[in-house]
Chains A and B, each alone.
Chain A
Amino acid sequence: AQSVAQPEDQVNVAEGNPLTVKCTYSVSGNPYLFWYVQYPNRGLQFLLKYITGDNLVKGSYGFEAEFNKSQTSFHLKKPSALVSDSALYFCAVTPGSNDYKLSFGAGTTVTVRA
């Protein structure tokens, strides 16, 4: 069975500073990894995904994530955070072929202070 861990419930950063949201996963076989963002009282919005290929994935709103197979991690990063990046972030994994079901982490609340 697959699982995702987001070790930090909350991340607080100052505007303009780098932002990192951590994610580790456990899955049999090659993982497919996703990051989603949720703003208050909204549904989840897709940010980026890793399927195969380059370990550094670039996504929406200036976010990127690095797939590290040896550390089973897929940390989300943004070089310079904005106040508008304050939201709830979810990492998700699926084992891939013929299994489309996602397992989500518990989520990390990001607060960017002005």
Chain B
Amino acid sequence: IAGITQAPTSQILAAGRRMTLRCTQDMRHNAMYWYRQDLGLGLRLIHYSNTAGTTGKGEVPDGYSVSRANTDDFPLTLASAVPSQTSVYFCASSDTGQGVPDTQYFGPGTRLTVL
């Protein structure tokens, strides 16, 4: 069982370009999340999805979009990248079947640099 996979591992991107970060989980978890990690700020939630077909905005959603067409995949898209989006991006998933927050499991991350 791989858990959560993210691609690419790292990417250098020119400002203004479009970029999609991929996230796939094989745990059949209902909920999925995207975070960005910046030094001194911890992890901040960008977008989330409680179940396939639904998405919601987190703490820092501007400049990002997500979709949840199925249970396993949760891509994050930067429509027009800016240097302030340089960060490490983590995807996570959790099981919400009991109606209470369960442990979130994290992918290995994508290091994105926008020049």
A106 close to B90 (CB less than 8 A): no
List the count of A-B residue pairs having beta carbons below 8 Å apart: 61
Interface size class of A (residues with CB under 8 A): 20 to 34
A100 adjacent to B94 (CB under 8 Å): yes
Looking at chain B, what size class is its interface with the partner chain? 20 to 34
Decide: A44 and B90 in contact? CB cutoff 8 A: yes
Q: Are A32 and B101 in contact (CB under 8 A)?
A: yes
Cβ–Cβ < 8 Å partners of B94 in chain A = 100
Known: A36-B106, A43-B106. 8 other contacts (CB 8 A): A9-B40, A34-B104, A43-B90, A49-B103, A92-B43, A100-B50, A102-B43, A103-B59
B residues with CB within 8 A of A: 4, 31, 33, 35, 40-45, 48, 50, 58-59, 90, 92, 94, 96, 99-109
